[in-house]
Amino acid sequence: MAGYVGSAIEFYDFVIYGTAAALVFPTVFFPDLGHVLATTASLGAFAAAFLARPLGAAVFGHYGDRIGRKQTLVVTLLMMGLATVGVGLVPPTDTIGVAAPLILIALRLIQGFAVGGEWAGAVLMSAEHAPAHRRGFYGMFTQLGLGTAVVLANLVFLLVHFGFGTDSEAFLQWGWRIPFLLSAVLIVTALYIRLRVEESPAFAEPAGQAPAAPIAALLRRQGRQLLLAAGVAACAPMLVFQAGTFFTHYATDHLDFSTNFVLLVGVIGGLVELGCVVAAAVLSDTHGRRRVAAVGFGCAVPWSFALFPLVQTGSRPLFAVAIVVTYALIGVCMGPLAAFLPEIFAPQYRYTGAALAHTFGAVLGGAVPPVISPALLNDYGGWAIAVTMGAVASLSLACVLRLRETAGAPLQGAVSSTRSGRV
């Protein structure tokens, strides 16, 4: 539960920001730029968090390996949540000028710094408590945070937008802030749970197991695995933020679909993603992490080239199918990763390794494609977006095939391991 609620908040904060970046921020924070530049600037502010994620992964990975998972996760939760609430309080550019987008970007960087250490700590708390033959199932609960966040964020935006009716001016002025301010409720709930969870079994032993510089030991001993794991982690965020950010903007701006319709499709997509995460995580315990993840990546490669043509038809049913199928693939790609990534790294620097791998994958897949997609579409057309997405999916497929299978293997430092937890 501690892993699940923290992950749900992390992804909720990112999804509502991505949704607002597609629907609201070009007008509210970048009103003086042209249409393409305003959209690119808005998505660039969204991507700014990914620049801070590697630093956060290194810092929180260090302390997570040195002092424990629990304390680190409490800090990341508070930083992430408070920054999200802060976004909902930033005045528009028309009121305070250029300070508005600067404050927005600063808060976004704080979000990114915090989330750099959040996911890894949450999945390690699950993986290190889990029996070896059910590690995929236990890790599933952290991964369910994304689908929950997609459903919750789109539903909240849908209700807020629907509640304002045709008064879009009120929505642009303050209605969009409600989903961000509601994050405060989630923070209190998650903090209550996390303060009561037991520390990971990896820290049941006296301190001193971790090296003085976990990142240096990681790069020296498992640098190759880190690069491959980062490649594995790139596909899912690419699909997540293309579907939830770029295609959300494209549907409302270029296809003139109603915002309510696009948000409703997002809710359905999130529900489908939840089911696919469960199936993929459970299957990874019996059929292997590599095999299940490879199926997801292998399907994502051709789907990358089919997705944009379906969206470009302008058909509402085809758009809904395109987005929902994308979320289904996201679930398949994500399901095994909460167990797979921690299993790759030794316990002395497992937090650092999982955090950096997930973060570098998110930077490559989640930050770059949504930011460059408007420019690619404007200069080269939709085929360039398809090539970009297909390349990221192909990279993840190639990387997962180069890693060894880890399902069922003992996880040192977990409940099923020897008492010392050392390698």
| Joined tokens for residue 411 | 């996880």
Residues of the chain with pLDDT > 90: what percent?
39
User: Hey, is 363 helix, strand or coil?
Assistant: helix
277, pLDDT greater than 50: yes
Summarize pLDDT for 88-141 with one digit per residue, the tens.
999 999 899 999 999 999 998 998 888 888 888 888 888 888 888 899 999 899
Q: Tell me the pLDDT tens digit for each residue of 12-64.
A: 887 888 788 877 888 889 888 877 788 888 878 877 888 888 888 888 888 87
DSSP 168-191: HHHIIIIITHHHHHTHHHHHHHHH
Q: Average per-residue pLDDT in the chain?
A: 85
Distance of alpha carbon 301 from alpha carbon 396, whole angstroms: 10
Is the pLDDT confidence value at 423 over 50? no
**DSSP letter for each residue of 38-79:** HHHHHHHHHHHHHHHHHHHHHHHHHHHHHH-HHHHHHHHHHH
Residue 288, phi-psi category: left (phi > 0), alpha (psi -120 to 50), beta (remainder): left
Give dist(CA 270, CA 263) in Å, integer.
11
pLDDT tens, position by position, 169-192: 788 788 889 889 988 887 888 888
The architecture (CATH level 2) of 2-196+222-402 comes to: Up-down Bundle (1.20)
pLDDT value, residue 137: 93
Range 419-423 average pLDDT = 32
Span 67-85, average pLDDT? 83
DSSP category for residue 129: T
pLDDT for the residue numbered 130 = 83
pLDDT of residue 248: 84
pLDDT of 68 higher than 80: no
The band of 282, judged by pLDDT with boundaries at 50, 70 and 90, is very high
pTM exceeding 0.85: no
- pLDDT tens for 362-420 read 889 987 888 788 888 888 888 999 999 999 999 999 999 999 998 877 776 544 333 33
Q: What is the pLDDT of residue 80?
A: 85
Can you tell me the mean pLDDT for 2-7? Answer: 80
